[in-house]
Structure 1
Amino acid sequence: MSCNPTPSRARHLAHSVAVIPLLYALATPAYADESEVGESIVVTARAQNLYRVKETEIGKIAADPLDVPQSVQVINSDLIEDQGARDIRDLYRNVPGVSADNYATVTYRGFSQDVTYYDGLRGDPFQTFSVPQLFTIERVEFLKGPAGMLYGSGSPGGTINYVTKKPQDEFGGNVRLIGGGRNRYGASADVTGPLDAEGTITGRAGLFYEDMDSYRDHASSRTLVGDAGLGIRLAPETKLVVQVTDYDQNLPGNRLRGVPIDADGNFYAKRSWNHNDPDDYIRYNGLVTQARLDSTLSEALSFNVAGRWFTYDETQKYHEPVALKDTDGDGLYDAVTREYRDQKRNVEGLSFGANLVGRFSTGGLDHTLLLGGDWYREDSSGRNYASRDLPLRSLVDPDYTTDSRPDLSGVTPSYSDARALRRGVYLQEQLGIGEHVILVAGLRRDWFDDTDYIEGSQASSAATTRRAGAIFKPRKDISLYLSWSEAFEPQDVSDQSTLAGGPFDPETGSQWEAGVKTDLLGGRIQTTLAAYRIVRRNVLQIDDSQDAVNGVDQLAPIGEVTSKGIEATLTADVTRDWLISANYAYNDTRVTGTVEGQSVDRSVGDRFPNTPQNKAGFWTRYQVPAIATAFSFGGEFVSSQIDRSGDRLKPFAVFDATISHDFGIFEAKFRIENIFDKYYAVSGFTGAKGAYLGNARSWFIELRRAL
């Protein structure tokens, strides 16, 4: 297999440009209802039920969240729009138990989570150092706790499922322009609707571009997303949807690590400090194609079949901080050694999934039977040059004018070339007993086959995971539940390499959870309260006591980690025009067991890194119809954490606000984030790699015209 990326940037841009004709075709339908043009949610809609979600498919079956025996939270398009969210990091404050880790990963109920799903399928085009964009996303579903029975291998902390925007039966869309601080500018267009008079064929197309500078010296980002979809109604109750999405990102001055801190969490450098040189970069090109067929055969039987293919290329030329140095002997670190890395990575994945759902009654019992299976194959290859023959980078007075790229002509690169294969089948019964009791039980069998073509090694395993739950509903808008679920996750193929210290045993996990959910007063008050305990075994961590081998970090297992916590959410319509959403999470994640040969210096009983004990967030929105304006204000508090070296990360609180006004022919939104310009860390790595930073104060103005 080739270790060089195959799709070219020009091909990806061509896919993006290809959606433009569909934009034009959809933008001017002869039968559009002109009376709806320019209608604004600020003016015409009540705050009531604005963020309410009545149905989720994260449990594989379309269901009311009250009928799922685990904690579920869904962020819909209204909240994404109100908060001006551009990527997934903008949404974490809304979800208790979820906090930023690094790059595209999150800490989910105490554990790092980097496996995500799109419309229920594997196939994440943002697996490494690019962050998932939200332009193509209708809603984001968070299922808390292990979901091995539903999705196969994954973190026991929880599952994230992105539900993509689909072609709609009614015409709609918008055009947006954006401009703001740090030279931010961009535009987007999104349109959907029927393509024939009968509405048999529907379409959707979107195009997004945004350019902005970072608060880090010489770093910036440029993102282009093209998206198109076609829906074909093959029969009254059968529909096929095909989608294509193209991503192109250029990130100059990246890959960004953090800013080094001392043991008390004090930063050694300014927030603007960058360990990279101005000509370093990440360039990312991704392409995704997926199709799904949904059919209702009868009132008792329905099925769906879906497939997803993706590929991405990532080229990185950057300077990795390695070790802190005290160059003047005053006892304070004032510089870092660095390693220059020239890396290329290509990933191609293909996944399939099928679900058959039967609904029937026997003897007063209501059955919902789920039978399904999924299959996933991922091929990854890469090439890495690494050299430490370069000057220090000062923490106090960095010099960005000297070209420090070393001569790599005499350096021998390392290569990776691997395949991961996952397949599983599952069966679940949901039993309704009268109007008040629901019992759920499920069983899944998974098979895993991993191949490292460079080392010529293979690893195979199998696992059985289970799920059980009980729900009691004293009334239809109150749900009390208890559940138990399991997780199983083979170590990543790259982590099994002997270069990283492998091979390693797979991770396992299980959770007990109990809670209550409400949907009171017709949805005007929604609450959740959950308590849980998760035990996870064979967690891998980077072993900072060992040097990287040719750019590959060394890993070591921690025997057992236990996470315990409580989470609560509230969404309420205080008045007709005033809405409040708030959440709180308490989490205590600690090392509770060890294994023979463990080399990470973290004793049993110690807190686990990047797991804040307390996290709270809120968002309130008040609209004034008389002046066609909505005012929103939100904030987030995260308590202290430790990084992977045991250094303390200080607690922080940040706030943001939005003002939206309808001018009739267009809407305008002004948004400011991190109002008080707090300099803070959201998570930590080790030593010179530092603490990952929260965004500095930023603002933008967006103009939106509904089609």
Structure 2
Amino acid sequence: MKYLNQKLLPIKLLLCLFVLFSATTFAQTSGSLKGTVQTSDNKAAEGVSITLKELNRTTIADNNGNYSIKNIPAGNYTLIVTLVGYTDFQQNVTITSGETATANITLALSNNELNQVVVLSNKSAFKTNRISSSLRLQSPIIEIPQNIQVVTGKLIQDQQIYDMLEGVTRNVSGATRVEHWDNYANIFMRGSQVAAFRNGMNVSTTWGPLTEDMSMVERIEFVKGPAGFMLANGNPSGFYNVVTKKPSGRTKGEANMTLGSFDMYRAALDFDGKLSKDGKLLYRINVMGQMKGSHRDYDYNNRYSIAPVLKYLIDENTSLTLEYTKQFSQVNIIGSNYVFSNRGYADLPKSFTTGEPNFKPTNMDDQSILAILEHKMSNNWKFTGQATYINYKQEGMSMWPQWPGFAPGTDNILTRGVSIWDVLGLTKTGQFFVNGEEKTGSVTHKILGGLDMSDKMYYHDWSQSAALNGYDASGNIVPFDIYNPIHGNVPASAMPNFDRSKDIRERGVQYHNGYNAIYAQDELGFFEDKLRLTLAGRYTTLKTSNPYSGSFDDSKFTPRVGVSYSFNKNNAAYFVSDQSFNENYGTDWQGKSFDPETGNNLELGFKRDWMNGKWNSVVSVYQITKKNVLTADPEHSTGGIQYSRQSGEQQVEGVEIDVRGEIFKNLDVVINYAFTEAKVTKDTDPAIVGTQVAGTSRHIQNTWLNYKMDRGVLNGLGLSIGYQYQVDRSPWFVSDDQTSGLPDYFRLDGSLTYQKGKMTYNLIVNNILNRYLYSGGKYDPGYFYWQAEPGTNLRVSVGYRF
């Protein structure tokens, strides 16, 4: 504890200094500004950003559309309300010493049109009231009978998160990242791995595609519970939806450069504007390049991305958006980020690697095309059609110990195995849906209906493998001793030479998964929409085939019932009962395909906006029952081949609390806690019944605090500090041996930011306490494996907006 206090002393002193300066007032030379913002249909324009241009001071309108800016030096200013896709609202205001000026604003758009404006323009808050249009729902978050948490672009930037493999999950209760293979994120929530979505479409596969770089990301929406009717197939735990940046109709840009530990060099550009004088053809392009080493020797991850988007406003009711994304990543060898030991976890230094300096790189190339057609059929109805095509290619190698891992009779001599790992993934997804509002008597109806289709074809080649041996000067094999590793003695002639003379479509194993579904939902509003009843259903047909089990398809109707009641504008309670239905990939030891996984979810929650929308809280209690769940099959897993089986049933119960927003003036927070009791309730092996579900943590608590000065000599200076804390962690996927449980996890991070005019500077220090942090499991032969995170490391970022 003494060591911890010494580490935190500078942070405490800085915080006290900030508070001291923030107490300084300028009553004799400053005034205030207040007012309300409404839409053209006389509704409160909550959540919009209001900025004093000359001071770069920004505030957010509350749930009633009210805003206030205090301690403004006397003078003339330009008040700006940013409207994405519309001309920015501007108004001149005069501030007089000791007085409060009033500026009421009416925006020339309806409340429905405001939704996308707020989603894309609010760059200054950790909290938002609205979801993106890709989630299809028309209500504010507080009225939706489900727990939806939004990680805003401001929060991503503040924490210097550059991809989904980093700390995104700290901002959502119960979400953890367990392991990864350098290309895709493996995120657990509510007892199971959650699906990855991009712009409302399921892009998840067994491996791939490449996880999104944050340079092209507007926000990330974590949707808890199945909600299969709303988007596409997903498991009963939920999914995360990555919303990419779209044209705003405003001429602006941003450049960022970052230097960091382990030879990290990164640059990103964001251009946004109009290509035609009439403002009908809009564009946005994000470009990023990165070279990054690692805390492990010979390891690296170099990548670049380019994401141009065009949006054509055909007329006042119709628009067409075309988005192309190319991401490329190059790593040393997939799997070299794992550590292996016969003795136990954390037995080797964080810098340990099984890699070699002369490995050929593994290249991952992800390209996608997205088309979105939006048509406003009337004032109350809108049609949306969207389709995407993803082409994912991977060419390289993977590494894992050859069976049985360690040489017989030793616990230090590791037999390294290298295999080819080439992938070709082709994903096609199409969606048509309509949403609108109608009224029958005193009852309002928010109606949603649509068609979803998806086809995923993947080819994997891991059929060629070889042992990796080092040699001394005399040509004798040098065993790889994990406690005294010698690198650089594997000559090029000893490297495996894989045969790629045939196209991967010929040499690879083909997996084919697809689905088609129709769905409908009606949200009925009673008593002036205070009471809302959601009735929804989805009929889904799953299709799958592979060379081991042949072809099969299955269909199921999954209903959904939800109730939400608003006690007032700031308080709402909800209940939801829904189901999930999605495919189980792969086959068992007999080559038979698995039945689809089904799930039932019951959830009760309470949502509250505090200080009229400055910050909000959500408390939810849920129970999920899953059937036909895949678990490890140690009985038939021999010779290094791991099989899965359908364990029968798992039950997950939990409580989640999320708090986010500005709880005090200039202090933004993200605080969350989750208690997750995930147990195996039925299984063919009685010994497994009652054990904790693999990959889960019983207690997870995260905090991120950001305090920013907005006046005085320290105007623009900010301090952030946060931690992640996990207790009772279960190993991921392979191990059912509860004696190999993972230790508690605690990571402390902090940052300093400074904004002056168009320039922003950000220094972040991760793992301040230099803790040995890792996740992993126990493999079938008996050895332990894990992925170690880096120790204390830092990043310095400089940004310029123009």
Normalised to the residue count of structure 1, the TM-score between the two structures is 0.87
Q: Which residue of 2 aligns with 1:22?
A: none
Contact 1:353 1:375 (8 Å CA) reproduced: yes
Counterpart of 1:385, as a letter, is S
1:706 deviates by 0.4
1:429 aligns with 2:527: no
1:276 aligns with 2:355: yes
Contact 1:42 1:623 (8 Å CA) reproduced: no
CA distance in 2, matches of 1:231, 1:409: 44
Q: Which residue of 2 aligns with 1:347?
A: 425
Counterpart of 2:566, as a letter, is K
Q: Which residue of 1 aligns with 2:726?
A: 638
CA distance in 2, matches of 1:47, 1:261: 53
Q: Which residue of 2 aligns with 1:395?
A: 482
Secondary structure of 1:151's aligned partner: coil
Do the aligned partners of residues 72 and 90 (structure 1) sit closer, same or farther apart at CA in structure 2, a change above 3 Å counting? same
Q: Which residue of 2 aligns with 1:583?
A: 672
Q: Which residue of 2 aligns with 1:505?
A: 595
Q: Which residue of 2 aligns with 1:168?
A: 248
Matches within 5 A, 1:280-359: 281-322=361-402, 333-359=411-437
Counterpart of 1:53, as a letter, is T
**Structure 1, residues 10-63: CA drift from partner, whole Å, max 9, x if none?**
xxxxxxxxxxxxxxxxxxxxxxxxxx9x99999523599711212114642232
Q: Which residue of 2 aligns with 1:12?
A: none
1:609 aligns with 2:694: yes
1:422 deviates by 1.0
Contact 2:548 2:591 (8 Å CA) reproduced: no
**Which of 693, 701, 704 is the matching residue for 2:796?**
701
Q: Which residue of 2 aligns with 1:479?
A: 572
CA distance in 2, matches of 1:546, 1:414: 26
1:275 deviates by 2.4
CA distance in 1, matches of 2:319, 2:215: 24
1:150 deviates by 2.4
1:637 deviates by 0.3
Gaps of 5+ in 1: 1-35
CA distance in 1, matches of 2:52, 2:162: 23
1:196 aligns with 2:276: yes
1:367 aligns with 2:442: no
- Give the paired residue count: 658
CA distance in 1, matches of 2:178, 2:625: 20
Do the aligned partners of residues 501 and 514 (structure 1) sit closer, same or farther apart at CA in structure 2, a change above 3 Å counting? same
Do the aligned partners of residues 364 and 664 (structure 1) sit closer, same or farther apart at CA in structure 2, a change above 3 Å counting? closer
Contact 2:589 2:644 (8 Å CA) reproduced: no
Secondary structure of 1:213's aligned partner: coil
CA distance in 2, matches of 1:676, 1:140: 28
CA distance in 1, matches of 2:497, 2:445: 67
**Structure 1, residues 660-701: CA drift from partner, whole Å, max 9, x if none?**
113445221111111111111234363546123334322111
**Structure 1, residues 566-587: CA drift from partner, whole Å, max 9, x if none?**
0001124233212222000000
1:101 aligns with 2:185: no
Do the aligned partners of residues 400 and 41 (structure 1) sit closer, same or farther apart at CA in structure 2, a change above 3 Å counting? farther
Do the aligned partners of residues 379 and 97 (structure 1) sit closer, same or farther apart at CA in structure 2, a change above 3 Å counting? same
For the aligned residue pairs, the C-alpha RMSD in angstroms reads 2.8
1:273 deviates by 1.3
CA distance in 2, matches of 1:154, 1:372: 17
Do the aligned partners of residues 126 and 704 (structure 1) sit closer, same or farther apart at CA in structure 2, a change above 3 Å counting? farther
Identity %: 20
Q: Which residue of 1 aligns with 2:77?
A: none
CA distance in 1, matches of 2:348, 2:703: 31
CA distance in 1, matches of 2:551, 2:263: 49
1:449 deviates by 1.9
Normalised to the residue count of structure 2, the TM-score between the two structures is 0.77
CA distance in 1, matches of 2:548, 2:798: 54
Contact 1:535 1:561 (8 Å CA) reproduced: yes
1:156 deviates by 1.1
1:101 deviates by 2.1
Do the aligned partners of residues 641 and 203 (structure 1) sit closer, same or farther apart at CA in structure 2, a change above 3 Å counting? same
Q: Which residue of 1 aligns with 2:191?
A: 110
Gaps of 5+ in 2: 1-48, 62-123, 470-478
Please say which structure displays the higher CA radius of gyration.
Answer: 2
Do the aligned partners of residues 333 and 145 (structure 1) sit closer, same or farther apart at CA in structure 2, a change above 3 Å counting? farther
Q: Which residue of 1 aligns with 2:288?
A: 208
Counterpart of 1:566, as a letter, is V
1:259 deviates by 2.3
Counterpart of 2:729, as a letter, is Q
CA distance in 2, matches of 1:486, 1:171: 45
**Which of 230, 252, 257 is the matching residue for 1:177?**
257
Q: Which residue of 2 aligns with 1:21?
A: none
Higher RCO structure, 1 or 2 (CA under 8 Å, sep 6+): 1
CA distance in 2, matches of 1:40, 1:659: 24
1:394 deviates by 2.5
CA distance in 2, matches of 1:430, 1:75: 26
Contact 2:135 2:200 (8 Å CA) reproduced: no
Contact 1:322 1:688 (8 Å CA) reproduced: no
CA distance in 2, matches of 1:689, 1:414: 32
Contact 2:407 2:415 (8 Å CA) reproduced: no
1:395 deviates by 2.0
Do the aligned partners of residues 573 and 665 (structure 1) sit closer, same or farther apart at CA in structure 2, a change above 3 Å counting? closer
Do the aligned partners of residues 614 and 324 (structure 1) sit closer, same or farther apart at CA in structure 2, a change above 3 Å counting? farther
1:383 aligns with 2:447: no
1:546 deviates by 4.6
Contact 1:123 1:308 (8 Å CA) reproduced: no
**Which of 125, 132, 135 is the matching residue for 1:50?**
125
